[in-house]
Amino acid sequence: MQREEKQLDAALEALILRVNDLKTSIGSMLFKLEHEYETINWPTFLDNFALMSGHLTSISKMLSHDKSPALRSLTVLPLLLSPERDEELVRLTENRINTFSYDVVPDYLRTKPEPEVEHKMMQMEHKAANLSFETAQKQVSQYTKVVTQVWELVSKAREEWESESGSRSGANQTSSMADTHTLVAAVGMGKGLVPMVQQQVAAGPPGMMVAPVGRPGAGAQQPGGPLNPNQPVPMGPMGKAPSSIKTNIKAATQIHPYGR
């Protein structure tokens, strides 16, 4: 008797630990759905769901183990019912149950569904039992058709998603980190820049006039035409302006100062 009680206590303790792990996983997932629903993605949701599924699988294995006691053969009976607040009960149930009274005991220690739920389940079972084989096969085929269509849509979307992600990962590289660092060093610190060489213009002889750039003869003064005030006056030797009076200088005959 004592050995069975020890096995029961050990099994219940291990089961309580697994249930607490499952409860923690469910609580964290509910917190993410309520507070991080804008940033949560599908892989994260699947990871949390897989974690909860793993906890449920471990609990099922523990209950179906050979050394685990048959909990279905055990009965839970309330030892004390009181309408007053029980602090120990509040701590054990994490503020979910304040009192262990006649109102809550039938709901928490119920081993069968409620009468209304049990009546509806019996109606559904009776309807399923009276269904003909041909009608059942027709409904099964329709259900299979719907599931197949949904599976094809999901598979197609998955293939497109994988192809798009593969094309993005295999795209040609359009930038170079070495060139970027070289450009930043050149702009920020002048590294690698060649200094500009100033070209000196050769000076011409004094009085040399540089013709204006443009059409030849566009700004030149025609002989006998009016003088353009905006046109620069050509400078002669020694920086003097040439006279506008025409002179004819002839060579004079050399005369001896003592000649008669």
Count the alpha carbons within 13 Å of 227 in the hemisphere toward its beta carbon. Answer: 5
Q: Which amino acid is at 184?
A: V
pLDDT at residue 244, as a whole number = 53
Ordered domains of the chain (ranges, CATH): 1-74 (1.20.58.1710)
3-state secondary structure 10-43: HHHHHHHHHHHHHHHHHHHHHHHHHHCCCCCCHH
pTM: 0.41
Counting other chains too, the contacts that 114-121 makes at CB distance below 8 Å and 24 or more residues apart are none
DSSP string computed for 200-226: PPPP--TTPPPPPSSSTTSSPPPTTSP
Q: Which of 69, 98, 93 is nearest to 3 (CA)?
A: 69
Torsion of CA 242, 244, 250, 254, to 10 degrees: -60
CA of residue 111 relative to chain centroid, distance: 49
d(CA 167, CA 157): 15
Per-residue pLDDT of the chain (260 residues; tens, 9 = 90+): 678 888 888 888 888 899 989 999 998 888 888 888 778 888 888 888 899 999 999 998 888 887 788 887 888 888 888 888 889 888 888 888 888 888 888 888 887 888 889 999 999 999 888 888 888 899 999 999 999 999 999 999 988 888 887 776 555 667 788 888 888 888 888 887 777 666 555 545 554 454 444 444 444 444 444 445 455 555 544 445 555 555 555 555 555 555 55
Q: Residue 2, Cβ neighbours under 10 Å: how many?
A: 6
Instruction: Characterize 143-164 residue by residue with b for buried, 16 or more Cβ atoms within 10 angstroms of its Cβ, and e for exposed.
Output: eeeeeeeeeeeeeeeeeeeeee
Instruction: Identify whether the C-beta of residue 73 lies closer than 8 Å to the C-beta of residue 111.
Output: no
What lies within 8 Å, CB to CB, of 254 at 6+ separation is none
Which residues are CB-contacts of 48 (< 8 A; sequence separation ≥ 6)? 25, 28, 29, 32
Q: Provide the residue type at 185 as one letter.
A: A
Using one digit for the tens of pLDDT, what is the confidence trace for 34-91?
888 778 888 888 888 899 999 999 998 888 887 788 887 888 888 888 888 889 888 8
CA–CA dist 61, 133 (Å, integer): 36
